[in-house]
Amino acid sequence: MLSSSITPSTIHTFYDTALQELVATLGRITESYKELHPDTELRGRALEDAATDFFRLKNINAILDAITEKQADLADLASRIIAHTKFDPAIFVPPTPEEIYSVHPGSGKGMELKKIIPRLETLIYILEHDLDTPLEEVGEIVSGATMDSMMREHPYVRVLLPTHERIVYLCNEEGNATFVFSSDIVSDSLPLTTLDVTDKKTYKELIRQNPTQGTVIRYHANTWRDHMIHSLTEPFSPNVHTDEGIETKKSHQTQRRSDFETVPQKKDGWESASSLSLRDALPGGSKTIKEYVEQFRAGHPEWFERQKNKTKIGEHYHPDLVALIIEHFTAIPQKKDGWESRSLLQGMLFAGRESIKKFAEQFRTEHPEWFERQKNKTQTAEYYHPDLVTKITEHFTAIPQKRDGWESASSLSAMLSVASKTTKEYVEQFRAGHPEWFEVQKPNGRGGTAEHYHPELVEIIKQKFPMRTKGSNE
């Protein structure tokens, strides 16, 4: 038992089980000793010590004490995580149409409660016990919100890990994958606040297009822990399925181990772009910081050096350059009252970020003063003047909510297992004759706006594409 590893499925029972097994073992040893020494008058701890000495198991009581101590530490872990966690009213990793419209087979006895898998506790345990990263070095733990229309009852949580240059999104409810990103993925074009409210489908596409920037960890009790440790300590890479690919990967790992031994340890006062972006909460993201420092490279090459932290190698900046970076980014004005970013408006109005941007752009030439780069606690972003916020709000609140019986190409895709593109191409033949069958509406329970189809057109689509079974595994 003691040689096995704690996993999300055992974290709440691991040490209890270990203690029970060890106590039982100690009982058997004691009974065997009494059978061999029937005249002994020893009792209690003295008898146990004599038995363990006789059978040359002198450390068994020390192990018992260690397990008891670990039990207390683990019991304290949940309360420490709660104290470290903040709340954000945004819905992190919002549901996709597939999640809203999918119906999972059950027992037929009503709604079945989903299991709770303590992924967050396990992640923090891994950090503290496997990766020497105490909770105090975790940049931030933020819990998102949920809403009544979501099938998911528990929120996604975002964990910033500056030491490992990672951003983790996880949910403790079964059926929800864990997403791990490199902190380099955060940029002006993809700020952290936007990454927070990006859905799973987009996450997966982002990782597909940028396989060195993130990974998806689907839950399997025996492998989740190993996959999580690997994603925090090794560079991301596409899956390899061929013998040649496996050998190439092994070769790269050997080379990385060799590099790790020769590269110097991180020096006091030196920082990487990721650590500045996450731990020191500098706005703009590591990509923006990297772009800013390039102007100093030719004149001060000594300000740039590859160094290693506990788990990885990366370029670090001299304290003088760190001071310039902090001075530059802290000079950006704080968010002003009444000004809002696209990401925040997206959450407020349940409107697509790009749709908001497209609508706002029509006012840029006439009112450039309505657009200004400002910073919140963690990121810089373009913010809109209160007058422009009013116009955006009026425009998007005027768009009607999804009407009963109307469906979008995406919702039909989930219901019928037909590609959205196929549906969109098929319905075009009806647009000229029945323009009233097409209307932009706001899907219930998710952000964005989309063209929806009248119930009569929905029936025609269903007849054209009979329903097929579709499933997923996360």
Q: What is the rounded CA–CA span in Å between residue 159 and residue 119?
A: 12
Q: In this structure, are residues 395 and 359 in contact, taking their beta carbons and an 8 Å threshold?
A: yes
Answer for the pair 433, 460: CB distance below 8 angstroms, yes or no.
no
Q: What is the DSSP letter of 401?
A: B
Residue type, 38: P
| Phi and psi at residue 162, to the nearest 5° | -60, -35
pLDDT number for residue 314 = 81
Q: What is the dihedral of CA 395, 396, 400, 402, to 10 degrees?
A: 160
Indicate the SS3 state at residue 450: strand
Q: How many CA atoms lie within 13 A of 398 on its CB side?
A: 6
Round to whole Å and give the CA distance between 249 and 383: 44
Q: CB neighbours (10 Å) of residue 301?
A: 9
Q: Are 454 and 436 in contact (CB under 8 A)?
A: yes
Give residue 165's region: left, alpha or beta (phi > 0; psi -120 to 50): left
Q: Where are the alpha helices (DSSP H) in 37-152?
A: 44-54, 60-84, 97-101, 119-129
Dist CA 470 CA 456 (whole Å)? 24
Distance of alpha carbon 300 from alpha carbon 110, whole angstroms: 68
Q: CA–CA separation, 292 vs 375, rounded Å?
A: 16
Quote the pLDDT of residue 283: 57
b vs e for 380-418, b when ≥16 Cβ sit within 10 Å of the residue's Cβ? bbebbbeebbebbeeebeeeeebeeebbbbbbbbbbbeb
SS3 391: helix
Report how far apart, in Å, the C-alpha atoms of 261 and of each of 42, 59, 309, 395 are: 54, 35, 12, 59
Query: Under a CB-based contact definition with an 8 Å cutoff, are residues 373 and 380 in contact?
Result: yes
Reported as a single tens digit per residue, the pLDDT across 436-461 is: 999 988 765 445 677 899 999 999 99
User: pTM for this one?
Assistant: 0.51
| Other Cβ atoms within 10 Å of 259 Cβ, number | 12
Tell me how far apart the alpha carbons of residues 466 and 68 are, in angstroms, rounded to a whole number. 60
Coil/strand/helix, residue 389: helix
What is the per-residue pLDDT for 3? Answer: 42
Model confidence over 282-326: pLDDT tens digits? 655 677 788 889 999 999 999 999 888 766 778 899 999 999 988
Tokens 């731990």 appear where? Answer: 279
CA dist 192 and 184 (Å) reads 11
Residues in the chain, overall count = 474
Query: Where in the chain are the domains?
Result: 14-78, 88-102+113-239, 261-330, 340-394, 407-464
Residues 6+ apart with CB under 8 A from 181: 166, 167, 168, 169, 195, 213, 214
Output the CA torsion sign for 172, 447, 183, 81: negative
Q: Is 228 left (phi over 0), alpha (psi -120 to 50) or beta?
A: alpha
3-state DSSP of 131-199: CCCCHHHCCEEEECCCCCCCCCCCCEEEEEECCCCEEEEEECECCCCEEEEEHHHCCCCCCHHHHHCCC
Three-state secondary structure call for residue 85 = strand
**Gap between the terminal Cα atoms of the chain:** 28
pLDDT reported for residue 212 = 87
List, in sequence order, every residue forming a beta bridge with 37; answer none if it has no partner: none
Q: 10-residue block means of pLDDT along the chain (474 residues)? A: 55 60 78 87 82 72 61 71 88 74 42 75 86 80 83 89 89 92 82 89 89 90 86 74 44 55 86 73 67 92 87 85 87 86 74 80 95 74 91 88 86 77 90 93 64 93 72 44
